[in-house]
Structure 1
Amino acid sequence: MKKGVAVVTGASRGAGQGIARALGAAGYTVYVTGRSQTAGASRLGGTIHETAAEVTAAGGRGVAFPCDHGDDASVRALFAAVARDEGRLDILVNNAVSLHDELIRPGPFWTKPTDMVDILDVGLRSSYIAAHAAAPLLVAKPGGLMIFTSAPGAVSYAHGPAYGAQKAGTDKMSADMAVELRPYGAASISIWMGFLKTARTAAAVAERPGQFDALMATAETPDFTGRIIAAIHRDPAMMALSGRTVIGAEQAQVYGVRDIDGSSPASLRPIVGGPFTYDEIILD
């Protein structure tokens, strides 16, 4: 039985691909968005059509929807199509992000290209626009869930100031949206993912042997986050998490969720600390 309708942004590859696949395995219809439509479009591989096929093969229904998340009109068209063709939206996973090829290159920000800051356009602003377009569907009935994928870079130094600003902004934006969604029974939650086993990670490990050995020992698949999202959505106490930034590995322990290889990835809290807690004090 189909569990509902989800949109996963930036799902041609990487985190979004695994999240979409896991939601498919949980029975969801998943709209897979991104720009990559043809093989070879990215050096990292992956297309929205390949991911949609994996969603369907996993047991859900994958719908490939070309979308440039730097183009507001393209994003609006996405949610208009979901409204027209599905008549509902149960989960939005805001995952699309612009990751520069020089993200992990050592050196201060002023020695790197200025377009490193594009992560604030596709990664922060784009999530706001997607949430804005999706909210009317999510609040149509209680139980809607908005997820933001994030990382410990929100509170600790990682990859420079643009990256940190995007992660910190994502967590706070999710918390503030939760305040306004709460009266409608819809939740907004930011999830810190761990070090991910993706094509991008594999390329980084090959490029810098030894640099990521400690992190690889705790690495998790992106499907793991998708499994956690499915568990959150079926949790009768979901609203208690709304407004919070949660560490995926810790929330998985609460639900008894394991990674696809049966492992229980460790929380990075002892290494990087924990998320901020935001007050819902209304200052307006």
Structure 2
Amino acid sequence: MSTQGALAGKIALVAGATRGASRAMAVELGRAGATVYVTGRTTREKASEVGRSTETIEETAELVTAAGGTGIAVPTDHLEPQRVRELVERIDQAHGRLDLLINGVWGGDHLIEWPFGKKMWEYDLDRGLRMLRLGIDAHLITSRYALPLLTRRPGGLVIEVTDGTAEYNARYRDHLYFDLAKYAPIRLAFGLAEELRDLGCAAVSFSPGFLRSETMLEHYGVTEENWREAIEQEPNFCISESPAYVGRAVAALAADPERARWSGQSLSSGQLARVYGFTDLDGTQPDGWRFFMDHEAGKEPKEEDYR
């Protein structure tokens, strides 16, 4: 399905849109015609604790505008309630509405301690708690201040971004803090769906598959153009997907007039591709979580069966 112009006049807030999946979501919403507020902690003047200065919210906003929307960068630490309150007040004053909230704040990968599989008490407590602050508290704070504006009119949508579908995350992720941080958005979306129903709004959780983010491409020493060369290092990279695929999934969902049918559910890019018909940059429809579920069930999945 084409979403070109389908979101014209709509106002979106993509929290944590500095890089990766959330940046791609912001860009594709712009391509669909939306005005997109993009937030994060890394600007051209200052990098966040993640330590990557190569991606900034200003660049994300420029990409949104170049795609056909209106990108507006607002430096925001979503763990600071006053900053989030001011952000929402700015959106309200400028537009009087908010149609889409994407809670994509994370930035906790640098806090993960390897190897996975150690006991909870063997991990550093401060790093673990910081991971929970980023993955849970930041989402709650953002929703607390954004939802009164989003619910002002029916049709609003909240997307809680996580890693892994509800089905996949029913298994233990072998790192208690990471497990909690990535399961919480699924439960947040489920609870918000209940609270939003009588207001005519909806909430879902959403997960990319094996994402070829900027960080992941650098890790394997490849680019989006030659990414398949990384399969030799990591065979499961064969089922990876571009950020654009993730963005197309969210744009298609946001443009669906019947999107409320998904409320409370856990969704993924591969799942939505089968419903809405969009493809990745190479014309395929990778379904990473179905691939991984079958792999862990003892099957020997073949790439072509999951694209």
Residues 100-249 of structure 1: pairs in structure 2 closer than 5 A: 100-103=109-112, 105-107=114-116, 108=118, 109-114=120-125, 115-152=127-164, 154-158=169-173, 160-206=175-221, 213-249=234-270
Compute the displacement of 1:22 (Å): 1.1
Q: How far apart, in 2, do the equivalents of 1:40 and 1:83 lie? A: 27
Compute the displacement of 1:196 (Å): 0.8
Q: Which amino acid aligns with 2:128?
A: M
Q: How far apart, in 2, do the equivalents of 1:21 and 1:33 lie? A: 13
CA distance 1:216–1:13, change in 2 (3 Å) = same
Aligned residues: CA RMSD? 2.3
CA distance 1:202–1:103, change in 2 (3 Å) = farther
The answer for unaligned runs of 5 or more in structure 1 is 274-284
In the alignment, what sits opposite 1:276? none
CA distance 1:102–1:122, change in 2 (3 Å) = closer
Please state whether the residue corresponding to 2:110 is helix, strand or coil. coil
Q: Which amino acid aligns with 1:171?
A: I
Q: Which amino acid aligns with 1:249?
A: G
Contact 1:18 1:226 in 2 (8 A): yes
Q: How far apart, in 2, do the equivalents of 1:231 and 1:91 lie? A: 13
In the alignment, what sits opposite 2:102? 93
What TM-score results when the alignment is normalised by the length of structure 1?
0.88
Contact 1:34 1:68 in 2 (8 A): yes
Residues 245-256 of structure 1: pairs in structure 2 closer than 5 A: 245-256=266-277
Q: Which amino acid aligns with 1:213?
A: E
Percent of paired sites with the same residue: 34
Please state whether the residue corresponding to 2:283 is helix, strand or coil. coil
Q: Summarize deviations over 1:222-281 as a string: whole Å, max 9, x none.
A: 2222221221122222111001111221112100011233221124224237xxxxxxxx
Q: Which amino acid aligns with 1:86?
A: H
User: Which of 286, 289, 294 does residue 265 from structure 1 map onto?
Assistant: 286
In the alignment, what sits opposite 2:297? none
Please state whether the residue corresponding to 2:240 is helix, strand or coil. coil
CA distance 1:215–1:102, change in 2 (3 Å) = farther
In the alignment, what sits opposite 2:12? 6
Q: Summarize deviations over 1:149-177 as a string: whole Å, max 9, x none.
A: 11226323436111111111110111011
Contact 1:195 1:218 in 2 (8 A): yes
Q: Summarize deviations over 1:75-124 as a string: whole Å, max 9, x none.
A: 11111111111211111000011314252621525444331331211121
Please state whether the residue corresponding to 1:63 is helix, strand or coil. strand
Please state whether the residue corresponding to 1:265 is helix, strand or coil. coil
Compute the displacement of 1:31 (Å): 0.5
Q: How far apart, in 1, do the equivalents of 2:14 and 2:233 lie? A: 28
Q: Summarize deviations over 1:36-78 as a string: whole Å, max 9, x none.
A: 1127833362000001000000110000000001211111111
Please state whether the residue corresponding to 1:196 is helix, strand or coil. coil
Q: Which amino acid aligns with 1:37?
A: T
Contact 2:12 2:99 in 1 (8 A): yes
Q: Answer with 212-221 or 13-22: which moved more.
A: 212-221
Give the number of equivalent residue pairs.
272
Please state whether the residue corresponding to 1:253 is helix, strand or coil. helix
In the alignment, what sits opposite 1:78? 87
CA distance 1:259–1:159, change in 2 (3 Å) = farther
Please state whether the residue corresponding to 1:165 is helix, strand or coil. helix
CA distance 1:137–1:241, change in 2 (3 Å) = same
User: Which of 42, 58, 62 does residue 36 from structure 1 map onto?
Assistant: 42
Q: How far apart, in 1, do the equivalents of 2:160 and 2:45 lie? A: 27
What TM-score results when the alignment is normalised by the length of structure 2?
0.82
In the alignment, what sits opposite 1:58? 67
